[in-house]
Chain A
Amino acid sequence: MPGIAIRKLNIWYGNTHALREINLDLPDGQITAIIGPSGCGKSTLLKSINRLLDLNEHVRITGQILIDGAAIYGKQVDVTEVRTQVGMLAQKPFPLPMSIYDNVAYGPRIHGLARGRQLAQLVTDSLKAARLWDEVGHRLKESAHKLSVGQQQRLCLARALAIQPAVLLCDESTASLDPIAARGIEELLSSLRQRYTLVMVTHDIEQARRLADYVVFMWLGEVVEHGPAAAFFQHPQHSLSQAYLAREIG
């Protein structure tokens, strides 16, 4: 059973047709990398999976996305539940205006996932999963904004993991970090691949090569080619993919 199924997805911003007829099945429990030159619609596609696009005023969406067979677009669907199932790690780390502990505990608290000692345990587990516990375990009450950028990004990851999502979206999540912090996040994501369906957007072909199990290559709002990473990187079928991998375009 596929993790995420995208069916006939079309997205317009005003009069601009940003995504055209996207049909994809993203595999469960693997890392999918969406690659392509900037402006090709990678981030749009990613943000359609947790319905964050709804925040834009002039956006129009047709088609459907199914997560574990359940449609996420439709009148009956509760957006907050979709977003609970689908975690997200943004490009720039953005801690909430509260303490380190509360940043992680906020999601479980509002969703009523845990309280008291169970909540503390969940926060600890999430921080450990994000490999941040050793650095902040002794100062959980401090403001999250005192952390370094790399730490903040791991905190955001812990925050996303704490609400137990099935899917994790990463939007260029290492782009604003220094190389060492970026490598840390990469290793983290790699270690999470068994437990979550991970979808990442990246403009860095090498990163996709290092991490991805499955690759989607986009060009001007359309999916040009998609398939298992090994096959894609060794034998790209489409001429655009070949050119992109050879860095002749993009």
Chain B
Amino acid sequence: MRRKQWRKLEEGCFIWLMRLALLIAVVGLGSILFTITSRGWAALSWEMVSQPPSAGFYLGGGGGILHALLGSLYLATGATLLALLIAVPVVLYINTYGRGSKTAEMVRLVLNILWGMPSIVFGVFILGLLLALGLRTSLLAGTIALALVIVPILARTFDEVVRLVPHELSETTLALGTTRLELSIMLLRQTMPGLLAGLFLAFERALGDGAAVLFTAGFTSSMPSSLFQPVASLPLVIFFQLATPFPEVQARAYAAALILTAIVLTFGMLGYFFLHHVGKHVIR
């Protein structure tokens, strides 16, 4: 009987520990959201999101962060499209042509490694290439660096979704005499909502990542103009504004952080929505 009480006690202790752990996370999240909102709200103005910076912006001058807002959207959109072009064929390949092969195993391992790779490493890699080729930082280079960061995210999310497809779908499709290319397309049809969700997740990550664009997209106070010019981005605008000693500039960093967080979380929720609610013909 004492043994039984001990077991109950053990479980009870751990349940309370678990609740405590969850509570800490909730408090952490609440603290972040509260801090960003309370500090950022005051400095938020229409001017901030509608205008590029004017002269002396980092010394407390007027203007806004429209350049970085647009820059981030360009960077993240380009990177997501680029990553899509790489990740989708690769994932379909390891689930059709290369299913169960050594190649597939290798690709998944490489994807895992790339997934854990710090984004700054992708940044310095592209920087190294730029230096070797004698090129400057640019929107294009930043887009490529970000694409490398999110290829593994997109590929892994998509791979999970494709692997959840019941094997009967492959079987029935192949039994109709399809080639494996046609099977790939069928798998794509079935997994479209999952792919969309992965895209939003990748986009969200690309928007928020500052380390990969630090050396590759460069930094500027002008609006994005060409693929081959440097471009500003929201994370770096926040970072550099915080680094100034002027309170009014720092306050703008808080507002920019609020804007970035709001955009990123909106796309996160869209991804969640797509994963669970879209797809007319999809087998559930």
Q: Are chains A and B touching directly in their complex (CB below 8 angstroms)? A: yes
CA separation between A111 and B173, bound complex, in Å?
A: 13
Interface membership of A88, Cβ < 8 A: yes
Q: Spot the interface stretch: B21-29, B155-163, B174-182.
A: B174-182
**Interface set, chain B 85-119, CB cutoff 8 A to A:** 99-100
**Which chain B residues lie closer than 8 Å to A77 at the CB level?**
none
Verify A156–B172 contact, CB threshold 8 A.
yes
CA separation between A94 and B168, bound complex, in Å?
A: 7
Contact of B176 among A95, A98, A106, A145 (CB under 8 A): A106
- Nearest chain-B residue to A103 (Cβ)? B281
**Which chain A residues lie closer than 8 Å to B174 at the CB level?**
52, 55, 83
Contacts A80-B178, A143-B281 given; indicate if A96 touches B170 (C-beta within 8 A). no
CA separation between A159 and B284, bound complex, in Å?
A: 20
- Nearest chain-B residue to A169 (Cβ)? B175
Contact of A110 among B171, B182, B283 (CB under 8 A): B182
Verify A144–B281 contact, CB threshold 8 A.
yes
Contacts A92-B168, A98-B189, A110-B182 given; indicate if A83 touches B177 (C-beta within 8 A). yes
Interface membership of A6, Cβ < 8 A: no
**Which chain B residues lie closer than 8 Å to A94 at the CB level?**
166, 168-169, 171-172, 283
Contacts A98-B281, A143-B281, A144-B281 given; indicate if A55 touches B170 (C-beta within 8 A). yes
Interface 0/1 of A55-95, CB less than 8 Å to B: 10100000000000000000000001111100110101011
**Which chain A residues lie closer than 8 Å to B279 at the CB level?**
97
Interface membership of A23, Cβ < 8 A: no
Contacts A96-B186, A99-B281, A143-B280 given; indicate if A163 touches B173 (C-beta within 8 A). no
**Which chain B residues lie closer than 8 Å to A99 at the CB level?**
281
Verify B169–A83 contact, CB threshold 8 A.
no
Min CB–CB distance A234 → chain B (angstroms) = 35
What is the size, in residues, of chain B's interface with A at 8 Å between Cβ atoms? 26
**Which chain A residues lie closer than 8 Å to B182 at the CB level?**
110
CA separation between A83 and B282, bound complex, in Å?
A: 25
Verify B189–A97 contact, CB threshold 8 A.
yes
Contacts A111-B177, A144-B281, A163-B176 given; indicate if A96 touches B169 (C-beta within 8 A). yes
Min CB–CB distance B272 → chain A (angstroms) = 21
Verify A90–B283 contact, CB threshold 8 A.
no
Min CB–CB distance B98 → chain A (angstroms) = 11
Interface membership of A107, Cβ < 8 A: yes
Interface membership of B138, Cβ < 8 A: no
CA separation between A95 and B169, bound complex, in Å?
A: 8
Contact of B172 among A96, A98, A111 (CB under 8 A): A96
B100, B190, B283 interface centre (most CB from chain A within 10 Å): B283
**Which chain A residues lie closer than 8 Å to B171 at the CB level?**
52, 55, 90, 94
The chain A residues found within 8 Å of chain B, CB to CB, are 50, 52, 55, 57, 80-84, 87-88, 90, 92, 94-99, 106-107, 110-111, 143-145, 156, 159-160, 163
A-B contact pairs, 9 of them (CB 8 A): A80-B178, A88-B175, A97-B169, A97-B281, A98-B189, A98-B281, A99-B281, A107-B176, A160-B176
Q: List 9 other contacts, CB 8 Å, given A52-B171, A81-B177.
A: A55-B170, A55-B171, A82-B177, A83-B178, A92-B168, A96-B189, A110-B178, A145-B283, A163-B177
